Structure 1
Amino acid sequence: MWTQAIEDAVAKTLRNIERFGDKFPHVSLNGTYGLNDNDDWTDGFWSGMLWLCYEYSGNERFRQAAEATVASFRKRMQEHVVLDHHDIGFLYSLSSKAQWIVSRDESARQLTLQAADALMKRWREPGGYIQAWGRKDDAKEAGRIIIDCLLNLPLLYWASEQTGDPVYRNAAAAQAEKSRRYLVRGDDSSYHTFFFNPETGEPIGGATHQGYSNGSTWTRGQAWGVYGFALSYRYTKNPLFLESSKRLARYFLNHLPEDHVAYWDFNAPVHADTYRDSSASAIVAAGLLELISHLDEQDPDRSYFQDMLLKSMTSLVERYATIGEEDAEGLLKRGSYYVHGGISPDDYMIWGDYFYLEALMRMEKGLTGYWYERE
């Protein structure tokens, strides 16, 4: 099953090289991906898919297309195009860092270190956190952190390993700890976002931007936490991060519907028209693979996580994937981007496609993504 799914995904990605040209896919409308000029937070996922497909197939067309995206990211860094957000880690871990990991290209390594420096400019004192969105002088955004940032932190951990400078690692670990304390609730659910007084660092309270309500659990946010805390554990070996990943994973898995693929928010009323978010389940699948790799055979959660991973991935492949639909641009149906904003619910999401492919590659070929150096 996994091999068939990978082959289908690789074939679609190859066709999409011609469809997309020098543009980057974001989310789709009626089955057609919207494209941009590398100015959105999601553009690294297309680059990451190209690198995964190249490693799997050895097809030079994938390598050439992937390298072209890295050239675009180099220009984006030089011109500072829409980089006033913390998603610099998403952008450059899956593009230039991927190129470094795959081909040991020194210029790609240097670009990735530049990206880490750009992300560090978002560190805010006295709060001791990475500001999620907006400029430093943006009064509305200056005190905001969001759970998505956990997947941007591997860029900083990696930069410390490469340079020997602990400043990157210290900031990443502090952000992970801030997220553990304020974004993870006592019942193992999570806030999407949390606010602090930017002048004093005093905590204000949790909220949501894309979830059902401030007190609800947005499933994609919970998914970022599952994977993000597992990655922070990989880099720091702080057992609290591993426990946080396990807690969020148990909550996510225990609240899934019968087909093991999440709705867009765990607290949204469920009826025939309630939106799914297949991308959240794809992120958790990839995150579970990372989490499981850190659990020994005696861990009581290991077999449960393995069983639920298999059920979720089987459901994604059999019920949500576009296998056999040759003209489909996306890999996973029924993702949801911004339900409250009315932006592309129930369609393709490029990050859903990426994490679905990453999970498949890791399960079948042992190919991890590009969040850390391989042994």
Structure 2
Amino acid sequence: MSVWQTAIEDALQKTRRNIGKFGDQFPHVSTDGGRSYELNANEDWTDGFWSGMLWLCYEHSGDDAFRQAAARTVESFRERYEADRVLDHHDIGFLYSLSAKAQWIIEKDEAARQLALRAADKLMARWREPGQYFQAWGPAGDSVNGGRIIIDCMMNLPLLYWAFEQTGDERYRQAAVLHADKSRRYLVRGDDSSYHTFHFDQKNGEPIGGDTAQGYTNGSTWTRGQAWGVYGFALSYRYTEDRLYLETSKRLARFFLSHLPEDEVAYWDFNAPIEAGTPRDSSASAIFCAGLLELLDLMDESDPERAYFERRIRLAMESLVLNYSTINEPNVEGLIKRGSYHVRGGSSPDDFMIWGDYYYLEALLRLEKGIKGYWYEDR
């Protein structure tokens, strides 16, 4: 059995057991140093990742227990949408791409398709016409967040690109492209690093400046944000075929790889002082690996960087499996250790992250079986 197969089987076993442990609740992060997940009643921005893990497990195994559990999460997301519960933020794509859209992609369930399209409309409500961007957090006109975009949103845009393909309504695609263009111009720095967030004047869209919400300093490079950018710009290229997005993804990937420590798994911020106890972020590396696999799928066969990227992603994934996974810890709930949520805020700096587990499993299944996740439909 290959190292990928061993890791996948471990993931299936843990996820199957977690179905019974979690019930109708959703895992978020651990708060006990990586033993058990903190659960919520489908009211956090991360809850789609559990749904996505269940769909991935079902696609790989064909086990109906995974399908039934995944379908129950979609019904939970339907109820969340109808109750409009904690949806006033940009992470609608994370929530509904991996739940309702996933069910549509796998089963062609029309009710799931309609739910995903309604979720796209909910995301469109975040569009701020004067500045031509999607506001990340807070209500329109908010004094702190009204003009803020964040790099994470690059992973939410695929819901809008998909909605355009499904409906032909240009509003979805136009808004996604305008936001991606603005993100490329203002969030990506000249040295190929990235800001976590950037602010604009709410009235006229004039740029104000970049800062961070979770990184080390305003001018540092938060590793999870850099990983979101690698994957998000690659996905924008897949949907639009605008090579500027492909080149941006490659630039961000080069920077990420050139700043990794010897064991190929990122610290929480590329500029944080490295000393005893500096937190890692295995979830950033998991996102990056999944994103780099997407990027490789889009690159020309003759691209001179292909061999380098292929070699480095195998090293990084092997390190995640051999040094950070819980393969030899059958009673824990998470798949990979040493994730960090919000280090400066003191929130889960060395714990399980459900998004880390999702992207780790997505990358494994892509390597082993070509299962690509639910950010787009094969065309």
What band does the TM-score fall into relative to the shorter chain?
A: over 0.9
Task: Work out the CA distance in 2 between the residues paired with 1:344 and 1:21.
Answer: 23
Question: For residue 189 of structure 1, what is the aligned residue in structure 2?
Answer: 193
Aligned to 2:152: 148
> Is 1:23 paired with 2:25?
yes
**Aligned counterparts of 1:351 and 1:84: Cα–Cα separation in 2:** 20
Mapped partners of 1:72, 1:120: distance in 2: 22
- Residue 238, structure 1, aligned to residue 238, structure 2: no
SS of residue in 1 equivalent to 2:341: strand
Instruction: Report which stretch shifted further, 210-219 or 137-146.
Output: 137-146
Please report how far the alpha carbon of residue 301 of structure 1 lies from its aligned counterpart in structure 2 after TM superposition.
1.2
Indicate whether 1:89 and 2:84 are aligned. Answer: no
> Where does residue 231 of structure 2 map in the other structure?
227
Question: Once the 2 structures are TM-superposed, how far is the Cα of residue 374 of structure 1 from its aligned partner?
Answer: 2.1
**Runs of 4+ that moved beyond 4 A:** none
AA of the residue aligned to 2:80: R
**TM-score, length basis structure 2:** 0.98
- Partner Cα distance (1:250, 1:106) in 2: 40
Q: Which amino acid aligns with 2:39?
A: L
| Amino acid corresponding to residue 266 of structure 1 in structure 2 | F
Q: 1:300 aligned to 2:296?
A: no
State the Cα RMSD in Å: 0.6
What is the Cα deviation at residue 325 of structure 1? 1.1
- 1:119-158 equivalences under 5 Å are 119-158=123-162
Say whether residues 1:50 and 2:54 are aligned partners: yes
Give the aligned residue type for 1:20: F
For residues 300 and 75 of structure 2, the distance between their equivalents in structure 1, rounded to whole angstroms, comes to 41
**Which letter maps to 1:60?**
D
**Per-residue Cα deviation, 1:165-210 (whole angstroms, up to 9, x for no partner):** 1110111111111000000000000000000000110000000000
Alignment of 1:73 onto 2:107: no
Give 1:1-375 correspondences, 5 Å limit: 1-30=3-32, 31-375=35-379
The whole-number CA distance in structure 2 between the counterparts of 1:295 and 1:55 is: 26
Alpha-carbon distance in structure 1 between the residues aligned to 2:262 and 2:144: 40
Contiguous gaps of at least 5 residues in structure 2: none
Once the two structures are TM-superposed, the CA of residue 140 in structure 1 deviates from its matched residue by 1.2
Unmatched segments (≥5 aa) in structure 1:
none
Write the distance in 1 (CA, Å) between the matches of 2:365 and 2:276: 33
Distance 2:248 2:141 in 1: 32
Q: CA deviation at 1:137?
A: 3.0
Separation of aligned partners in 2, 1:211 and 1:127 = 25
Superposition TM-score, scaled by structure 1 size: 0.99
Aligned-partner Cα distance in 2 for 1:272–1:58: 44
SS of the residue 2:340 aligns to = strand
Q: What is the rounded CA distance, in whole Å, between the counterparts of 1:305 and 1:346 in structure 2?
A: 28
Question: Kindly, what percent of the aligned residue pairs are identical?
Answer: 70
Deviation, structure 1 residue 297: 2.1
For residues 328 and 338 of structure 2, the distance between their equivalents in structure 1, rounded to whole angstroms, comes to 17
The one-letter code matched in structure 2 to 1:355 is Y
